[in-house]
């Protein structure tokens, strides 16, 4: 028991350390933002300014209350509303006046504006002026930035410059780590882009894979369904349900732990296959179908805990449905803009991260189950826990397959987000 507790605590410390940087949140009042995103052959950027600040700087009359989020579901990036598009020429002219980008190699880099968007957050609603860095035949080693946004209106304002993406620098989808801070007394600074290596990008993708498995509640519940029977063995009594069946607790922590790790590794191998095929365009299934099958995978894995169809079915279920979970993972690389950038390293790092993330989850759950395995309560935990998983899975299946939004799902994810917040992981 002492070894189990020690194992659990060490795992929790490692997990918290790995994900601590991901819990930070960048946006704050009295700040504007300059994001720089470095890709393999291009540099993109975004200037973010709140509607309130735009009203003050440009003497606009935007009704800011109209765009504030009513709840958490409203938060996020949205297309720019039609009524705000009339102000875009004035906003872009202001940015060109207040921001300039140069490099030692190529001189001035004009900002070629692309489609603007609206970032809706509880602490403010931002107009995101997206741009491409022009006059950049190659990635410069550094950018000399002059930044004076809002300083003429408010001397308490600060301009936060963030490298939002730089694969080789190990920065993926970042909005938390500020590289430079501009103030009225410090408007000229240099941003280094040369701290780059394949290794840093690979490590960043490992962390991304770990993070994705942790926030993927459906993937976690699938793992839970597989882990529940791992600390006990069924006696061969045909036709009996898990609740009434006589269970035999496993004696060896090591052998049971290695067994479930093998199951999880089969799951990883399977989703790695389909994730890779989807990333290169060899497979393209509807997300509606994929997400529906993922929901069914949870239900079937849980049902086999109650009434097995054949001995040691966990291995088959993990591999077979891991193929569909891989298609679900495929959308993540596309969302992060990694489809064509360092493809091999991205796939390898992301898959390794998912495997490590799964192992950490198992390491946190398994010792607790091992301690409970001899109790009279445990067969009931398997039975009723599996029933609950089946109910949740079928609820998700109906919602995903028929593309309807039912309110219970929102409460489930709301509760899960609150748990992550309490753990400092969101």
Between residues 19 and 357, which one has the greater pLDDT?
Answer: 357
Q: How far apart are CA 222 and CA 264, in angstroms?
A: 10
Q: How far apart are CA 255 and CA 261, in angstroms?
A: 10
**Tokens linked to 320:** 């077979």
> What is residue 83's predicted lDDT score, i.e. its pLDDT?
93
Q: How far apart are CA 229 and CA 231, in angstroms?
A: 6
Q: How far apart are CA 106 and CA 164, in angstroms?
A: 22
Average pLDDT, the chain: 82
**Contact 33/47 with Cβ under 8 angstroms?**
yes
Tell me the pLDDT tens digit for each residue of 95-135.
999 999 999 999 999 999 999 999 998 778 999 999 999 99
Between residues 285 and 182, which one has the greater pLDDT?
Answer: 182
Tell me the pLDDT tens digit for each residue of 272-281.
898 888 877 7
pTM of the model: 0.64
Between residues 63 and 410, which one has the greater pLDDT?
Answer: 63
Q: Which of 142-146, 207-211, 302-306 has the lowest mean pLDDT?
A: 207-211
pLDDT tier, 23 (very low <50, low <70, confident <90, very high otherwise)? very low
Tell me the pLDDT tens digit for each residue of 352-375.
888 899 999 999 899 999 999 988
Q: How far apart are CA 68 and CA 202, in angstroms?
A: 38
pLDDT tier, 243 (very low <50, low <70, confident <90, very high otherwise)? low
- Burial of 320 (C-beta count, 10 Å sphere; 0-12/13-18/19+): middle
> What is residue 153's predicted lDDT score, i.e. its pLDDT?
92
List of residues 6+ apart from 140 with CB closer than 8 A: 43, 103, 104, 105, 106, 109, 193
* Element counts in the chain: helices (H) and strands (E): 12, 14
List of residues 6+ apart from 352 with CB closer than 8 A: 206, 209
| Helix 343-372 vs helix 314-335: crossing angle, to nearest 10 | 140
> What is residue 376's predicted lDDT score, i.e. its pLDDT?
86
Tell me the pLDDT tens digit for each residue of 179-230.
888 999 999 999 988 766 667 668 777 887 887 788 788 889 999 999 998 8
> What is residue 283's predicted lDDT score, i.e. its pLDDT?
81
pLDDT tier, 162 (very low <50, low <70, confident <90, very high otherwise)? confident
DSSP letter (8 states) at residue 49:
E
Beta strands at 76-79 and 124-133: parallel, antiparallel or unpaired = unpaired
Q: How far apart are CA 261 and CA 355, in angstroms?
A: 10
> What is residue 17's predicted lDDT score, i.e. its pLDDT?
46
- Percent of the chain at pLDDT above 70? 79
> Which of the residue ranges 6-10, 52-56, 237-241, 396-400 has the most confident prediction, judged by mean pLDDT?
52-56
> What is residue 25's predicted lDDT score, i.e. its pLDDT?
40
- Burial of 28 (C-beta count, 10 Å sphere; 0-12/13-18/19+): exposed
Q: Which of 230-239, 299-308, 319-328 has the lowest mean pLDDT?
A: 230-239
> What is residue 416's predicted lDDT score, i.e. its pLDDT?
64
List of residues 6+ apart from 395 with CB closer than 8 A: 406, 408, 409
> Which of the residue ranges 193-197, 331-335, 379-383 has the most confident prediction, judged by mean pLDDT?
379-383
Q: How far apart are CA 380 and CA 244, in angstroms?
A: 9
List, in sequence order, every beta strand (DSSP E) within 17-140.
31-38, 43-50, 76-79, 99-103, 107-108, 111-113, 117-121, 124-133
> What is residue 19's predicted lDDT score, i.e. its pLDDT?
46
pLDDT tier, 15 (very low <50, low <70, confident <90, very high otherwise)? very low
> What is residue 242's predicted lDDT score, i.e. its pLDDT?
57
**Tokens linked to 184:** 């009225």
> What is residue 16's predicted lDDT score, i.e. its pLDDT?
47
Exposure on the CB side of residue 171, measured as CA atoms within 13 A: 21
- Burial of 6 (C-beta count, 10 Å sphere; 0-12/13-18/19+): exposed
């Amino acid at each position: 028991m002492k070894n189990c507790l020690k194992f659990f605590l060490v795992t929790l410390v490692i997990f918290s350390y790995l994900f601590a940087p991901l819990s930070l949140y960048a946006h704050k009042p009295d700040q504007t933002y300059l994001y720089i995103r470095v890709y393999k052959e291009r540099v993109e950027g975004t200037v973010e300014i709140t509607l309130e600040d735009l009203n003050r700087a440009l003497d606009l009359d935007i009704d800011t209350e109209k765009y504030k989020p009513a709840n958490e579901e409203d938060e996020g990036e949205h297309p720019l509303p039609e009524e705000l598009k009339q102000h875009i020429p004035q906003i872009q002219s202001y940015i060109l006046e207040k921001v300039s980008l140069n490099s030692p190699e190529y001189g001035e880099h004009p900002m070629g504006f692309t489609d603007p968007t609206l970032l809706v957050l509880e602490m403010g609603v931002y107009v995101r002026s997206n741009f491409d860095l022009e006059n950049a035949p190659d990635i410069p080693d550094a950018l000399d930035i002059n930044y004076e946004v809002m300083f003429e209106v408010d001397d308490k304002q600060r301009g936060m410059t963030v490298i939002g993406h730089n694969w080789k620098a190990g920065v993926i989808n970042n909005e938390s780590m500020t590289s430079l801070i501009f103030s009225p007394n410090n408007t000229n600074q240099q941003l280094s882009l040369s701290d780059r290596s394949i290794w840093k990008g690979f490590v960043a993708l490992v962390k991304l894979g770990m993070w994705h498995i942790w926030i993927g509640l459906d993937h976690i519940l699938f793992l839970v369904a597989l882990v529940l029977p791992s600390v006990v063995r069924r006696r061969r009594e045909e036709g009996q349900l898990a609740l009434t069946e006589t269970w035999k607790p496993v004696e060896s922590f090591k052998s049971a732990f290695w067994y479930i790790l093998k199951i999880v590794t089969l799951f990883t191998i399977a989703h790695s296959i389909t994730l890779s095929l989807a990333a290169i365009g060899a497979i393209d299934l509807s997300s509606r179908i994929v997400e529906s099958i993922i929901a069914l995978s949870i239900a079937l894995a849980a049902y086999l805990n109650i009434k097995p169809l054949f001995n040691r079915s966990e291995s088959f279920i993990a591999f077979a449905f891991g193929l569909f979970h891989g298609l679900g993972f495929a959308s993540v690389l596309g969302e992060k803009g990694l489809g064509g950038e360092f493809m091999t390293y991205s796939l390898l790092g992301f898959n390794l991260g998912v495997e490590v993330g799964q192992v950490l989850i198992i390491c946190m759950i398994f010792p607790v189950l091992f301690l409970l395995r001899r109790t009279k309560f445990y067969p009931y935990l398997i039975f009723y826990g599996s029933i609950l998983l089946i109910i949740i899975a079928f609820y998700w299946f109906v919602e995903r397959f028929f593309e309807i939004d039912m309110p219970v799902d929102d409460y489930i994810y709301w509760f899960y987000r609150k748990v992550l917040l309490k753990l400092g992981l969101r």
